[in-house]
């Protein structure tokens, strides 16, 4: 078997996204500055206030582990431009706040120590940098403010800044497993970012690190990773956002594309205490299974508060997912979609000659193992206790209402 640099990522299947920065203080999400048209000077009041007392990346990493997640990605700089790391290119960084800490340094150390893969998110947009265009930029907080209409920007200066910071992140924090750039839009994409140069630097400094597809794409669009011949800046995986692919993602040649769906537990990335619209743990488990049944990953987000605490509802959801993963993780890690039509009662995932049947909507009566000939089945077992089942219906046992249950199948791995 040829080993690929994406192997660990595809085996992992489940990761933690962390959106954390100054925006945790107003608690209205990481787009607050843009939504409320807050100018950079006014927003700096949060910089003066920022002083997290409960920041404990070991606890974050422990929670991710408990949830069965295998990697973490933290926002080193989001669109607001505030840096959680010590950058020589700016004063707008956490080491200059009351906290006086390089949070990225402590984070990468804690994540590695926990045995998890470590990823860094870096925003291409920057609403604080003086050379990032304001007026008429579709997302900038000052996009409609006439006062900025005649401003001149030294774009190359911004690019040097941005490239310089990426270089720092790739040089000062040891081996990174993943870099998550965010995002391209309108004509702000590809070479506008000097993306080829940027990517060459990343590949040189962090040859093993995976890079997402957003130097060209932006959540709903994927750039050339979806072409048969991806460009040099296409990245290593597609990053659909808050939108589940309808099937396994393939490029125009029909070859599978590595992908990772990013989503939130409530409706927000950054800390928003008023957002009570929480997804249930059961729902999230189903979505994780769905990703794997389509040969993709799920990166699930938490938004710590200004003190650094992950909201208790999010902790609770992750713990419940973790309890399920403890019993059923085998049907997730290293698995991919089965080349079988989706069964009515749930989803299939597969690892070599084992087919995992995730029963999400129990039928009345026996469970039809659709797509598989009876003669091919070697044994049917309940995943969490290994007990044998004569047929799939027996494995279910009595039930009150639909639950997620799992049956494994041993056969030659070829169900067609
Ligand atoms: C981006 C960020 O803007 C957001 O704050 C969060 O970090 C998320 C993970 O990534 O969200 C996007 C990016 C692109 C689009 C929409 C949301 N888009 O192109 O429609």
* Closest residue CA from atom 17 of ligand 1: 219
C-alpha 85/C-alpha 87 separation (Å) is 6
Sequence length of the chain is 416
The rounded Å distance from CA 384 to ligand 1 centre is: 37
The rounded Å distance from CA 183 to ligand 1 centre is: 7
Q: Is the pLDDT of residue 91 over 70?
A: yes
Q: Is the pLDDT of residue 383 over 70?
A: yes
* Closest residue CA from atom 1 of ligand 1: 182
Mean pLDDT of the chain: 92
416 C-beta neighbours (distance < 10 Å), count? 8
The rounded Å distance from CA 88 to ligand 1 centre is: 27
C-alpha 60/C-alpha 69 separation (Å) is 11
Condensed to tens digits (0 to 9), the pLDDT of residues 355-373 reads: 998 888 877 777 788 888 7
What ipTM was assigned to the predicted interfaces of this complex? 0.96
Residue 178: what are its φ and ψ, rounded to 5°?
-155, 140
The rounded Å distance from CA 218 to ligand 1 centre is: 7
The pick from 74, 78, 241 for probing ligand 1's pocket by mutation, whose C-beta has the most ligand atoms within 8 angstroms, reads 241
In this structure, what is the dihedral angle of CA atoms 394, 398, 399, 400, given to the nearest 10 degrees?
160
Which atom of ligand 1 approaches the CA of 30 most closely? 5
Residues near ligand 1 (Cβ within 6 A): 19, 30-31, 182-183, 185, 218-220, 241, 262, 269
Question: What would the DSSP string read from start to end of 207-223?
Answer: TT-EEBSTTT--SS--G
Which atom of ligand 1 approaches the CA of 218 most closely? 19
C-alpha 237/C-alpha 213 separation (Å) is 6
The answer to whether the beta carbons of residues 342 and 369 sit under 8 Å apart is: no
Condensed to tens digits (0 to 9), the pLDDT of residues 1-54 reads: 579 999 999 999 999 999 999 999 999 999 999 999 999 999 999 999 999 999
Question: What would the DSSP string read from start to end of 182-202?
Answer: E--BTTBSGGGGTHHHHHHHH
The answer to whether the beta carbons of residues 392 and 366 sit under 8 Å apart is: yes
9 C-beta neighbours (distance < 10 Å), count? 22
Condensed to tens digits (0 to 9), the pLDDT of residues 145-159 reads: 999 999 999 999 999
The rounded Å distance from CA 400 to ligand 1 centre is: 40
Condensed to tens digits (0 to 9), the pLDDT of residues 36-50 reads: 999 999 999 999 999
**Confidence class for position 58, pLDDT limits 50, 70, 90:** very high
> By mean pLDDT, which of 134-138, 197-201, 240-244 is the weakest?
240-244
């Amino acid at each position: 078997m040829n080993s690929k640099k994406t192997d660990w990522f595809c085996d992992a299947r489940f990761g933690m996204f962390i959106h954390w920065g100054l925006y945790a203080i107003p608690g209205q999400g990481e787009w607050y500055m843009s939504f409320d048209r807050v100018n950079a000077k006014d927003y700096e009041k949060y910089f003066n206030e920022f002083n997290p007392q409960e920041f404990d990346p070991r606890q974050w990493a422990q929670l991710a582990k408990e949830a069965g997640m295998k990697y973490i990605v933290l926002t080193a700089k989001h669109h607001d431009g505030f840096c959680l790391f010590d950058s020589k290119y700016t004063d707008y960084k956490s080491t200059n706040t009351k906290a006086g800490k390089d949070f990225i340094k402590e984070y990468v150390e804690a994540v590695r120590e926990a045995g998890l893969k470590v990823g860094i998110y870096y925003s291409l947009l920057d609403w604080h940098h003086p050379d990032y265009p304001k007026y008429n930029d579709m997302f900038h907080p000052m996009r409609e403010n006439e006062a900025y209409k005649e401003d001149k920007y030294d774009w190359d200066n911004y690019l040097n800044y941005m490239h310089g910071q990426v270089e720092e992140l790739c040089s000062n924090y040891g081996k990174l497993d993943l870099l998550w750039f965010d995002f391209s839009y309108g004509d702000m994409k590809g070479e506008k970012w000097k993306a080829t140069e940027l990517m060459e630097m990343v590949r040189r400094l962090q040859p093993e690190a995976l890079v997402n597809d957003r130097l060209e794409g932006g959540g709903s669009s994927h750039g050339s990773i979806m072409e048969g011949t991806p460009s040099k800046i296409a990245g290593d995986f597609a990053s659909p956002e808050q939108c589940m692919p309808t099937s396994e993602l393939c490029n125009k040649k029909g070859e599978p594309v590595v992908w990772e769906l990013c989503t939130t537990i409530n409706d927000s990335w950054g800390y928003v205490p008023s957002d009570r619209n929480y997804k249930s743990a059961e729902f999230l488990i189903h979505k994780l299974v769905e990703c794997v049944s389509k040969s993709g990953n799920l990166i699930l987000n938490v938004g710590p508060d200004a003190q650094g605490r992950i909201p208790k509802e999010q902790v609770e959801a992750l713990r419940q997912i973790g309890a399920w993963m403890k019993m059923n993780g085998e049907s997730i890690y290293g698995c991919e979609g089965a080349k079988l039509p989706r069964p009515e009662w749930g989803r299939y995932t597969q690892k070599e000659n084992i087919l995992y049947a995730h029963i999400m909507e129990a039928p009345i009566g026996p469970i039809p193992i659709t797509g598989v000939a009876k003669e091919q089945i070697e044994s049917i077992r309940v995943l969490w206790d290994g007990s044998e089942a004569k047929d799939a219906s027996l494995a279910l046992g009595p039930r009150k209402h639909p639950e997620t249950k799992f049956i494994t199948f041993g056969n030659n791995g070829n169900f067609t």
